[in-house]
Amino acid sequence: MNKDIKKILIGEEELKAKVAELGAKITEDYRDKDLFIVCVLKGAVVFASDLIREIKLPLEIDFMAISSYGNNTKTSGVVRILKDLNMGIEDKHVLIVEDIIDSGLTLAYLVENLRTRHPASVEICTILDKKERRVADLDIKYTGFVVPDEFVVGYGLDYAEKYRNLPYIAVLKEEVYKG
Ligand code: IMP
Ligand code: MG
């Protein structure tokens, strides 16, 4: 285990099983539809790359970078588009793939933004949901795990850009934040 980790919340095998389950559901729901995956950079990259291989349908994927966070563990409420999609989504069935939904402000903004581009539908798939901290009113179609109100890292999620490559979801030791 990494020396900065206090405890593992969700292990590798548990993640793998959940991603397979989500992929199977999505495969059922999007049969005969033009599925367009929007992966939210950078955090969702690990989840999205595992998830698309569990979706047994033709699909397209594109990337968007939005930011509501600095090197901080609290939301600023300010959402910026750092990188937009390269492709158009008109008449496509868009599935946003996200790492974690916290206040939901980032995703609420993104959903509204994508809807103005006239897709056939927009839905959300997140591997983690920090439900107790929700501020925005969001309809999440696919959720992997509900997690407690603790800052988590791994499986794409970072603290100050580190720990994204851990294969599990974990809580850091307090001393890491104090530096
Ligand atoms: P929201 O707008 O408050 O829902 O923030 C969502 C974004 O904040 C996520 O996409 C993450 O990038 C980041 N975030 C929220 N909670 C955590 C966490 O516990 N660990 C790492 N990143 C987090
Ligand atoms: Mg994110």
Instruction: Looking at the CA of 77, name the nearest ligand.
Output: 1
The answer to whether the Cα torsion of 126, 159, 102, 61 is positive or negative is negative
Contact in structure between 159 and 73 (CB atoms under 8 Å) = yes
Q: Which residues are catalytic?
A: 102
Give the residues across from 122 on adjacent strands.
94
Residue closest by Cα to atom 19 of ligand 1: 151
> Taking 90 as the threshold, does the pLDDT of residue 39 lie above it?
yes
Q: What is the pLDDT of residues 141-179, one digit of tens each?
A: 999 999 999 999 999 999 999 999 999 999 999 899 886
Give the residues across from 97 on adjacent strands.
39, 125
The whole-number pLDDT of residue 115 equals: 97
The pLDDT mean for the chain works out to 93
Pocket test for ligand 1, best of 100, 110, 155 (most atoms within 8 A of CB): 100
- Domain 2-178, classified CATH 3.40.50.300, yes or no: no
In the chain, what percentage of residues exceed pLDDT 70? 94
Question: How many Å apart are CA 83 and CA 101, to the nearest integer?
Answer: 19
Ligand 1 centroid distance, CA of 171 (Å): 14
Average pLDDT over every residue of 41-69: 94
| CB-ligand 1 contact for 105 (6 Å cutoff) | yes
Ligand 2 centroid distance, CA of 103 (Å): 12
Residue whose tokens read 């056939």 = 120
Q: Which atom of ligand 1 lies at the shortest distance from residue 130's CA?
A: 16
The whole-number pLDDT of residue 70 equals: 52
| CB-ligand 1 contact for 100 (6 Å cutoff) | yes
Q: What is the pTM of this model?
A: 0.94
Q: What is the pLDDT of residues 80-128, one digit of tens each?
A: 899 999 999 999 999 999 999 999 988 999 999 999 999 999 999 999 9
Q: What is the largest CA-CA distance in the chain?
A: 51
Give the residue extent of every domain in the chain.
2-178
Residue closest by Cα to atom 16 of ligand 1: 102
Name the residues around ion ligand 2, CB cutoff 5 A. Answer: 43, 99
Edge-first strand order for the sheet with 152-153 is 5-10, 169-172, 152-153
Residue closest by Cα to atom 9 of ligand 1: 100
Q: What is the pLDDT of residues 4-34, one digit of tens each?
A: 999 999 999 999 999 999 999 999 999 999 9
Contact in structure between 172 and 159 (CB atoms under 8 Å) = yes
Contact in structure between 126 and 101 (CB atoms under 8 Å) = yes
In the chain, what percentage of residues exceed pLDDT 90? 86
| CB-ligand 1 contact for 43 (6 Å cutoff) | yes
Question: How many Å apart are CA 28 and CA 2, to the nearest integer?
Answer: 37
Query: By three-state DSSP, how is residue 153 classified?
Result: strand
List the Cα angle 30/99/62 in 5-degree steps.
55
